Amino acid sequence: MSTIKIYTCHHKASAFLSSNLIEPIHVGKALNLNDIGCMGDNTGDNISYKNPFYCELTAHYWVWKNAQPTDFVGFMHYRRHLNFSDNQSMAEDNWGVINAEELDASYENECGLTTEQITATLEDCDLILPKKWSVTQAGNRSNYSHYMRSEYLHIEHYDEALKIIASDYPEYVSAAEKFNAASDGYYTNMFVMRHDLFDRYSKWLFDISQKLESKISFNNFNSQEKRVIGHISERLLNIFILRELEINPDLKIKEVQRTFIKKETFNGKLAPVYPKGSIPVVICFDDNYAISGAALINSLLKNSQDELNYDIIVLENKISTINKSRLFKLVAEKNNFSLRFFDVNTFTELNDVHVRGHFTAATYARLFIPRLLKDYSKVIFIDADTVVEHDIAELYEIELGTNLVAAVRDIVMEGFVKFGAMSTSSFGIMPAKQYLHKVLAMNKPEKYFQAGIIVFNIDQMNKEDTYQQLMAEMKSGQYWFLDQDIMNKVFYDRVHDLPLEWNVYHGNGNTDDFFPNLVFSTYSQFLRARMKPKMIHFAGENKPWNTSRVDFFDNFAKNIADTPWQYQLYQNLAGQTLGSTNAVTSGAPALLLQTRIKRRLMPMVDRFAPTGSPRRNSLIKYYYIVRRKILG
């Protein structure tokens, strides 16, 4: 039986085909600091950095130079595939493509993208190509005129490639002339061919491509125009095939239809980096929180054990390349630390989620942990606005049994229940206690946990398909505290309680205003936890990278010292932002404006409507009604 390997080219996280004959490969990986759940084209002998110009050819080159040879080798794209089914009469659009809604099992079966069907199609065959497409469909008379008239393409570049063929490979001239004059051809750089053909084609293709680089230049080209080598290679494939047919008229070629996936989805996963002794930690932040994420990662480094491996995954939302590079440098000298980035925008389910205030759609990213990291046993999630003062490995050793998570109870919510704070959600405006009972189905409000640090029991979640439950709740309504409420509802009474030391609030600058009014036993535990915290949570609007007038500022600052962000911290505290020329020249850094306003107004509000009073609850209720009218 012949060995077969077909590579699908992916430039971002996307849906993978399930056949073991098909291998996804991350093209242009050298230029992308994110992990998309598959191998990259940037190892060994590679041209990965040329992806903006060579397109999928960087994967082609990597396979040619590095992959274990197979009898057949081929390439498809992340949204474009070959139809290996027996039905080659499916409806096509004007571009000769079968349009499919999304990549799922039904699509794979219908289009023959299965191990059995691919193997059967390659029997008694040398080469599989997409069915020829006629350029007359685009209003052109020939393949040459199609290139000349196409947007973003420059005919002088193709002419230079033809000159190289005439000079260095004159035996290909007649094939080139035949293709240029024809009105149809094999487009989209997809094929499956015998390995000897592939090797011969690759040598010829990349020799011409390299020589072409010295013949062309970019004149203020946009990104589409720069893809010149990729576009020309589509034509070179046709010329190569025509030449092979001149040499061997009996070459066995099968033409099949092409497909296109309309809806982009993701079905991949991130595999553990280390085989054992690993502590997986997930963090989520964007560029605005890069300074905070750096402090947290640095604190993890400082409180780690050399004999353990730490597998850090950042679910990122548009973190700049420079900040990613800086974060990589933080862990560069630690052989037992791995750092990866994954784009949260890959999860298309986040497009329609409810957000409010400073929260963004990325807030919901932790709901996807059971799916993205399903090959792990347990995973620790920790908010980016935190630092640790203890080895996080202690949490990983906790026996969770059939509990779904381990977390710290939320003493702020305990206060909301005690003081009768009013919740606002799509389920109505109601006191916190009623909200927990009615909406979250929590008969024991004291079980509500804070999501700043969570140990996910992935093994148990896999058994119960907890991920689907989380998704169902995410789509069911607009919750008060967004994904934190969703997790409390789904995980209710399946939570291993962690000591308060593992989620110590910094107090947001008002430690003495709220917490002393809690039940004394809770307040006492809060004070004890603050004496020797294992994790400090800078929850609230007053962050230590903007003001030093918050508790535990020094714990944050020490983790920024001697990092590229220390200068940003100095500027922030001086009343500057990066690039600003307006500095506060005297006085201590101020708290945020909304905090100062709140402190001025609250004494009057407290006198008029004391906490927990009917008047206070009515005031809050009407506040939210007016707020919703204004903000929507």
Kindly provide the residue ranges of all beta strands, DSSP E only, lying in 90-172, ordered along the sequence.
97-100, 127-130, 133-134
Query: What pLDDT does 585 receive?
Result: 30
User: Mapping DSSP to helix (H, G, I), strand (E, B) and coil, where does residue 566 land?
Assistant: helix
Query: What pLDDT does 587 receive?
Result: 36
d(CA 568, CA 261): 44
Query: What pLDDT does 506 receive?
Result: 87
Do residues 244 and 109 touch, judged by C-beta distance below 8 A?
A: no
Mean pLDDT of the chain: 91
Q: Within 10 Å of residue 570's Cβ, how many Cβ atoms?
A: 11
Query: What pLDDT does 613 receive?
Result: 62
d(CA 369, CA 487): 12
Amino acid identity, position 93: D
d(CA 79, CA 245): 30
Q: Largest Cα–Cα distance in the chain?
A: 96
Strands 504-505 and 535-537: parallel
d(CA 238, CA 82): 17
166 band by pLDDT with thresholds 50, 70 and 90: very high
Q: Within 10 Å of residue 273's Cβ, how many Cβ atoms?
A: 17
Query: What pLDDT does 576 receive?
Result: 45
DSSP-assigned beta bridge partners for residue 381: 282, 454
Print burial letters for 174-212: b (CB count within 10 Å at least 16), e (below 16). ebbebbbebbbbbbbbbbbbbeebbeebbebbbebbeeb
Query: What pLDDT does 599 receive?
Result: 58
Strands 253-256 and 386-388: unpaired
d(CA 472, CA 486): 10
For range 50-70, the mean pLDDT: 98
602 band by pLDDT with thresholds 50, 70 and 90: low
Query: What pLDDT does 276 receive?
Result: 82
DSSP-assigned beta bridge partners for residue 99: 260
For range 230-257, the mean pLDDT: 97
Higher per-residue pLDDT: 380 or 607:
380
Query: What pLDDT does 10 receive?
Result: 97
For range 66-91, the mean pLDDT: 97
d(CA 405, CA 427): 26
The answer, yes or no, to whether residue 344 has pLDDT greater than 80, is yes
pLDDT tens digits, residue range 432-456?
999 999 999 999 999 999 999 999 9
Provide the sign of the torsion angle of the four alpha carbons 584, 296, 13, 63, taken in this order. positive
Query: What pLDDT does 507 receive?
Result: 76
Query: What pLDDT does 459 receive?
Result: 97
The answer, yes or no, to whether residue 631 has pLDDT greater than 70, is no
The torsion defined by the Cα of 469, 473, 474 and 477, in degrees rounded to 10, comes to 170
The answer, yes or no, to whether residue 340 has pLDDT greater than 90, is yes
d(CA 103, CA 368): 19
pLDDT tens digits, residue range 540-594?
888 999 999 889 999 999 999 999 999 999 999 987 444 433 333 333 344 555 5
High-pLDDT (> 70) share of the chain, %: 90
Angle among Cα 134, 135, 140 to the nearest 5 degrees reads: 140
For range 34-50, the mean pLDDT: 97
pLDDT tens digits, residue range 293-311?
999 999 999 999 999 999 9
For range 75-97, the mean pLDDT: 95
For range 379-402, the mean pLDDT: 97
Instruction: Out of 265-269, 507-511, 625-629, give the one with best mean pLDDT.
Output: 265-269
d(CA 29, CA 10): 10
596 band by pLDDT with thresholds 50, 70 and 90: low
d(CA 563, CA 552): 19
d(CA 117, CA 370): 32
* Strands ordered across the beta sheet of 258-261: 80-82, 258-261, 97-100
